[in-house]
Amino acid sequence: MIQMINVAVMGFGTVGSGVVELIHANGERIARGAGDTVRVKYVLDVRDFDNSPYADLFVKDFAVIENDPEVSIVVETIGGVGVAQEFTRRALSAGKSVVTSNKELVSEHGCELLKIAAEKGVCYLFEASVGGGVPILHPISACLAGDEIEEIYGILNGTTNYILTNMFKNGATFDKALAEAQELGYAERDPSADINGIDTCRKTCILADLAFGKNIAPDFVRTEGIAAVSAIDVEHVSTAGASIKLIGRTVRMADGKIAAYTAPHVLMSDNLLVNVEGVFNGIVVRGEATGETMFYGKGAGKLPTATAVISDIIETGKTIGTGAFLGWSEAGEEIIGDTELLENRWYIRANIDFDEAAVRFGQVTMLGCDENGAAFITGAMSGIRCAELLEGIDATTVYRVLE
Ligand code: HSE
């Protein structure tokens, strides 16, 4: 009898259609990895795809998948919470493994869904939810599992990195760079989750959950996007050979709490991520034993993201019946560390002149001066100390600096 792993793909959008295409194109290689032939038995979508080469696979009723004992893996590429959460719960409860690219669902409800998966002895895997085609979650949970992770920071959003790169390389304004990203299909029609840092925040939470084993809820994570990054900051930061990047960062604090936040940072020319440009993502994991390990690649897009989904299908295929699962424990606000205790240098643009900057902050590196004040980089200090020194000053821009 021919062995078969039957898969149902829910959501035939960019990623879902990529998964179906890759399974058909790379069937033999995928079968070697998974141990059995992987077959797409159903595609669930509310829309009609009559002209698709996969037209005969389409169903509109989730119950068809839920009640088919042959389906062992469900791919959820619907996105959002709503039906994606309901169908994931039901699929796991029906004893099917689920793999997904849905960072919103994983960051907000991953803890609950992983619990159901563990109870049922099936997998809930989500490699594609962070870093697109960049393998990062499996390396954290498996390859680096013998190390104590201290910090993870990364450029986790391709859209905003494309916009910032365009501002730095071509002198584009934020609005022009965003319009270009939309024309090229990098930015969504509603790019607010990217621009406002929400997408990066969700991915940061998933990294923190996996690395530190505690649920870090997006609601507790301070999130700042890139809409306020101005041409004048780009000019000042460029004079230092540095760049501005939207960074998601999570750190294990000395008291055991987990600090996590998303914000634009100034990256100095020696930083590992300073040359991560365009839609690419880059992630640095710092472990006690390993030191820094960097991951780099395409953080978005149909086939890169579909490849990550397929790696989870293969992983699930290998572990069917073994009850292997990931997980992290529930936690509330008490686990969240104070990001203002983290020490680093600061990029500041404020309505003071260079002399006053030096008096207040001690040794500073001057980047530029105009009628509105000075732009400078301070020495290393905590956010609390920086806020004290800024008292009474009208600071337009305050970004952390990563060396
Ligand atoms: N909108 C996301 C990005 C897609 O630009 O990175 C991948 O998660």
pLDDT one-digit tens code per residue, 203-234:
999 999 999 999 999 999 999 999 999 999 99
Q: Strand 149-155 vs strand 4-10: parallel, antiparallel, or unpaired?
A: unpaired
Ligand 1 neighbourhood includes 268 CB (under 6 angstroms): no
CA pair distance 200, 131, nearest whole angstrom: 10
Residue 233 in contact with ligand 1 by CB distance below 6 A = no
Query: Which residue from 66, 61, 31 is spatially nearest to 44, judged by alpha carbons?
Result: 61
pLDDT band at residue 1, thresholds of 50, 70 and 90? very low
pLDDT higher than 70, residue 20: yes
User: Is 315 a pocket residue for ligand 1 (Cβ < 6 Å)?
Assistant: no
CA of 305 to the centre of ligand 1 (A): 10
User: What is the C-alpha end-to-end distance of the chain, expressed in Å?
Assistant: 59
Atom in ligand 1 nearest the alpha carbon of residue 160:
5
**Active-site residue identified among 41, 203, 214, 302:** 203
Structure tokens at 279: 């839609």
Active site residue 318: no
Beta bridge partners of 381: 344
Percent of the chain with pLDDT over 70: 98
Q: Domain locations in the chain?
A: 4-133+302-319, 137-298, 342-402
Q: Pick from 195, 202, 190: which is nearest to 129 by CA?
A: 202
Query: Other CB atoms closer than 10 Å to residue 376's CB: what's the count?
Result: 23
Q: How far is CA 199 from the centre of its chain?
A: 7
Q: What integer pLDDT is reported at residue 187 of this predicted model?
A: 76
Q: Which of 157, 245, 309 to mutate to test the pocket of ligand 1 (most atoms within 8 A of CB)?
A: 157
Residues in the chain: 403
Q: At the topology level of CATH, where does 137-298 sit?
A: Dihydrodipicolinate Reductase; domain 2 (3.30.360)
Per-residue confidence (pLDDT) for residue 38, from 0 to 100: 97
Average pLDDT over residues 240-247: 98
Whether residue 228 contacts residue 219, with contact meaning beta carbons closer than 8 Å, is answered with: no
Q: Judge whether residue 202 has pLDDT over 80.
A: yes
Residue nearest to atom 7 of ligand 1 (CA): 300
Structure tokens at 363: 């040794």
Q: Is 229 helix (H, G, I), strand (E, B) or coil?
A: coil
Ligand 1 binding pocket includes 132 (Cβ within 6 Å): yes
Report whether 368 contacts 347 (CB < 8 A).
no
Q: Which of 160, 274, 165 is nearest to 227 (CA)?
A: 160
Is the Cβ–Cβ distance between 403 and 347 less than 8 Å? no
As a whole number of angstroms, the distance between CA 379 and CA 383 comes to 12
- Residue 7 near residue 71, CB atoms below 8 Å: yes
List Cβ neighbours of 219 (8 Å cut-off, separation of 6 or more). Answer: none
Question: How far is 152 from 401, CA to CA, in rounded Å?
Answer: 15
At residue 133, the pLDDT reads 94
Please give the structure tokens belonging to residue 223: 């999130």
Task: Kindly state if the Cβ of 128 falls inside 6 Å of ligand 1.
Answer: no
- Residue with the nearest Cα to atom 4 of ligand 1? 300
pLDDT tens per residue across span 292-309: 999 999 998 899 999 999
Residue 1: which residues within 8 A CB-CB, separation 6 or more?
none
pTM of the model: 0.96
- The mean pLDDT value for 311-332 works out to 82
Q: Could you identify the residue written with the tokens 């619907």?
A: 78
Residue nearest to atom 8 of ligand 1 (CA): 300
List C-alpha distances in Å: 84 to 21, 198, 352. Answer: 22, 19, 51
Are 246 and 200 in contact by the 8 Å Cβ rule? The answer is: yes
- Residue 164: C-alpha distances to residues 70, 105, 195, 256, 278 (Å): 47, 27, 11, 34, 8
Q: Is the predicted pLDDT of residue 277 greater than 50, yes or no? A: yes
Q: How many helices and strands in the chain, by DSSP H and E?
A: 14, 17
Mean pLDDT of all residues in 28-54: 96
> What is the 374 CA–ligand 1 centroid distance (Å)?
34
What is the DSSP annotation of 128-144? GGSSTTS--HHIIIIIT
- The answer, yes or no, to whether any atom of ligand 1 lies below 6 A from the CB of 299, is yes
pLDDT at 223: 98
pLDDT of residue 325: 65
Residue 300 CA to ligand 1 centre (angstroms): 5
Q: How far is the CA of 308 from the centre of ligand 1 (A)?
A: 14
Architecture (CATH level 2) of domain 4-133+302-319: 3-Layer(aba) Sandwich (3.40)
Full DSSP string of 67-129: T-TTEEEEEE---SSHHHHHHHHHHHHTT-EEEE--HHHHHHHHHHHHHHHHHHT--EE-GGG
Query: pLDDT band at residue 317, thresholds of 50, 70 and 90?
Result: confident
CATH number listed for the domain at residues 342-402? 3.30.70
Reported as a single tens digit per residue, the pLDDT across 146-192 is: 999 999 999 999 999 999 999 999 999 999 999 998 888 777 778 99
Q: Is 199 in the pocket of ligand 1 (CB under 6 A)?
A: yes
Residue 29 phi/psi, 5° resolution?
Answer: -65, -40
Query: Is 296 within 8 Å of 133 (Cβ atoms)?
Result: no
- Contact status, residue 193 vs residue 107, Cβ threshold 8 Å: no
| Cβ–Cβ under 8 Å, residues 39 and 6 | yes
Q: Which of 136, 194, 246, 303 to probe ligand 1 with, by most ligand atoms within 8 A of CB?
A: 194
Of ligand 1's listed atoms, the one at least distance from the Cα of 159 is 5
pLDDT on residue 321? 62
Closest CA to 303 of 40, 58, 109, 24: 24
Q: Name 373's bridge partners.
A: 370
What spacing in Å lies between the alpha carbon of 211 and ligand 1's midpoint? 21
Over 50: is that where the pLDDT of 278 sits?
yes
